Amino acid sequence: MWAALLSALAHLAAAEKSYHNMTFLGQKMGGQSFFSRKDSIRTIYTSLHNELRKVVTMSRHTQPSSSSFLEDLLSHLSEQLCHFTQARIEMADMYEKMLSLGAQKNINLEELVTTLEAVLHKYSSKFHHPIVGRLEEGERPLTHWPNVIMMMGDRAAELNTLEKVVHFYDDKVQSTYYLTRPEPHFTLVVIFDGRKSEKELYITAFLLEISASLRVSKPFSTLKPGSKG
């Protein structure tokens, strides 16, 4: 069973790479929906979901043994990943809808927001870490939290340019902070032990690249009518 899960995880890694690169956002070909193609991201996640469901089924039919705890963990993890792949499939449907809207003059953005909120509501509590619980229950870095809040307020103007990495060193906690915003309501924070220079270009370049990827401005630009992709 563990071998089956590892195989599924390898397939998941490949699917996630394609998903996050957004290479599946292409024009409809020959009148056929992009997402109905054999090699589409939707088909890949559907196959992956079926693969994970088999792992869950196998785990539930094993005889009790000294390794039952690990087998229960395997079953639980696989079931969580089943929900995760279903969420990806529904998001693929939403992207297909966005693609079709790209050719229209009047776009109903509220419909897209409603669709996204429905997916979030449906799956927000259905997949999480099997040991530590839901992500929002994780402990915040309390030592650093006051500094992060202070910088988000005091240097909001710089952060809201969306193309700026803010640097700060606190001698009291011997830590260096880097902050940037992909969009006004979302701040990325990287914290280093010890002093780091504001001129550490590899850090700022990394954060700016992550922010650009999260904004997905380049893939979305290909959805505009007349775009060559």
pLDDT in tens, 105-133: 777 778 778 888 888 888 877 765 544 34
| pLDDT reading at 39 higher than 60 | no
The pLDDT value given to residue 138: 54
pLDDT, residue 210, reads: 84
- The Cβ of residue 228 has, within 10 Å, a number of other Cβ atoms equal to 5
From the CA atom positions of the chain, what is the Rg in Å?
22
* Segment 141-163, tens digit of pLDDT: 778 989 999 999 999 999 998 88
Task: Flag whether pLDDT at 4 surpasses 90.
Answer: no
Who wins on pLDDT, 175 or 20? 175
Contacts of 147 (CB under 8 A, 6+ apart): 168, 170, 173, 175, 177
Which of 11-20, 30-39, 59-68 is least confident?
A: 30-39
Mean pLDDT in residue range 44-49: 92
Specify the pLDDT at position 151: 92
Q: Would you call 30 helix, strand, or coil by DSSP? A: coil
pLDDT in tens, 49-97: 999 999 888 877 666 665 566 777 788 888 888 998 999 888 888 877 7
Classified by CATH at the fold level, domain 145-215 comes out as Beta-Lactamase (3.30.450)
Instruction: Return the pLDDT at 63.
Output: 64
- Residue 27 pLDDT level (bands cut at 50, 70, 90): very low
With beta carbons less than 8 A apart as the criterion, state whether 162 and 181 touch. yes
Which of 74, 84, 72 shows the shortest CA–CA distance to 127?
84
pLDDT at position 2:
77
Quote the tokens at residue 90. 């529904």
Whether 180 shows a pLDDT value over 90: the answer reads yes
- How many percent of the chain have pLDDT more than 90? 23
The pLDDT of residue 158 is 92
pLDDT value of residue 128: 59
- The pLDDT tens digits of the residues spanning 193-228 come to 999 998 888 899 888 888 887 777 666 666 666 655
First to last CA, the chain: 42
Tell whether pTM > 0.75: no
